[in-house]
A and B are shown apart, each in its own frame.
Chain A
Amino acid sequence: MRQKNRIKGALKGLLLLCFTGVLLSSCLEDTSCGQNIETGMLFSAYTVTIDSATQERVVTRDMSRLYVFLQRDRMDTLYPRVADTLAMVPLELTDSITSLFFEKDSVLNEIKIIHTLPEVGFVDVNCGFVPTYTITNGSFSNIELDSVQIVNPTVDTDVFKTNILLFY
């Protein structure tokens, strides 16, 4: 009987240990969004030249002197983000057509992106919700802009997935 009481005492000790574990773990919940989560369409710009010696097309990534505006008057500058090789611009929240004005070497091109209305995507309890889109089509004014290619239609918070390529 003494043996049994001793074991019971130990089991109760374990119970206390577990209860403490539950209380501690409950207090350890993260309460802040540790990363900058933002939805944006990612693009890269390339220049296409002809090699005079070989007569072959040479495609070079070139993000220099590239600016994006919300309006043709170039008043609202968007500062494309994400390093030298990739830039991010937002899409309309209440419309399924987003017009953006891309300036490169002082030449302005309007690019219209046709996409779904934003769907709600849940990141986590700390970061909350973000809009997500699917690009369905697009058009552009081809002033020194050769072509626009949609390589990935899903626009979300992934900052490594290029959505469109611009070829000048």
Chain B
Amino acid sequence: MFLKPIYFCFISCLLLSGSLLAQQNKAAADTVNMDRTPFIRIGVDPSRYLLSYLQPAERGGYEVQVDMEIYEKFYPVVEFGYMFARRTEEAYALSINGTYARLGFDYNLLALNDATDRDLFFVGWRMARSQFVQSADNVYYENAFGSVTTSVPQQALHAYWGEVTVGVKAEVFRNFFVGWTGRLKYKFRVKEAAITPYAIPGYGRPTTDSDVNADISLYLSYSFSLKKWQ
């Protein structure tokens, strides 16, 4: 139920973007051999802060994305972040915090309009790893024999997953970009844990019935021109 709107959004974006792409590529079909200035683009995801106000868990963190064009239309991407979450219920309090990093490539599907055009409509992939700790306290349960309050000590965990991405980066002011990245994630491995992780930083909430997850990152980015290599 939770993932359905995101899957819907992800697929809608792919379909809508396909028609836009055809239109744009036709318009810029004659653009070739442009002398481009290399640049690096650094972005942050503000939604990591906004989500803390929309979910029952006390949750926060940050995410930074860095990309640059190394070859025509190929953008290596590094993303890293930190996430913490604490969920307090009547019968338990669950804490998790950790870091994550993603490494991959984006391929720009848009034809360039001119040498300064840095807009992107991309598809790409990522390999990701998260390292985190999880613990639980005030765990309470009862039955006919009585009740017990116990805790689960902190356990260090890690997880690996891969992502297929699609997204947009549009220059709304000079050098200032707004964009999103839709992610379809496939979980490869999560270290065996005493308790199933409530959330994996960078991956999201794992479910027992599926290794697939999806979400969207939003980015506000700024690009810096680099000197041309001699």
Contacts and interface: CB of A to CB of B under 8 A. Distances in A.
Per DSSP, chain B at the interface is mixed
Given A22-B47, A22-B218, A90 B195 contact: no
B94 A125 contact: yes
Contacts, number: 138
A151 interface: no
Nearest to A28: B2
A14 interface: yes
A133 B92 CA distance: 20
B133 to A, nearest CB: 15
Contact of B195 (A8, A12, A24, A120): A120
Nearest to B215: A22
A65 interface: no
Nearest to A122: B195
Contacts of A21: 5-6, 8-9, 216
A90 B145 contact: yes
B24 A76 contact: no
Contacts of A24: 5
A19 B142 CA distance: 43
Given A7-B20, A8-B170, A29-B2, A18 B13 contact: yes
A39 B9 contact: no
B6 A93 contact: no
Nearest to B168: A11
A129 B92 contact: yes
B22 to A, nearest CB: 11
A54 interface: no
Nearest to A9: B170
Interface string B179-214: 110100000000000111010000000001000000
A120 B198 contact: no
Nearest to B117: A4
Contacts of B2: 25, 28-30
Contact of B218 (A4, A11, A18, A98): A18
A10 interface: yes
A8 B119 contact: yes
A75 interface: no
B143 A129 contact: no
Contacts of A22: 6, 9, 47, 51, 215-216, 218
B216 A28 contact: no
Interface in B93-122: 94, 113, 117, 119, 121
10 contacts: A1-B113, A4-B113, A11-B168, A15-B180, A18-B9, A21-B216, A22-B215, A25-B3, A28-B2, A120-B195
Given A22-B47, A94-B146, A129-B141, 20 more contacts: A10-B16, A11-B20, A11-B168, A12-B170, A14-B180, A15-B168, A15-B178, A15-B218, A18-B218, A21-B216, A24-B5, A39-B143, A78-B144, A93-B143, A93-B145, A118-B148, A120-B136, A120-B195, A122-B136, A122-B196
Which 5 A-B pairs rank lowest in CB-CB distance, beginning with the nearest?
Answer: A21-B9, A122-B195, A90-B143, A26-B54, A3-B27
Interface of A: 1, 3-4, 7-8, 10-12, 14-15, 17-19, 21-31, 38-40, 70, 76, 78, 90-94, 98, 118-122, 124-125, 128-131
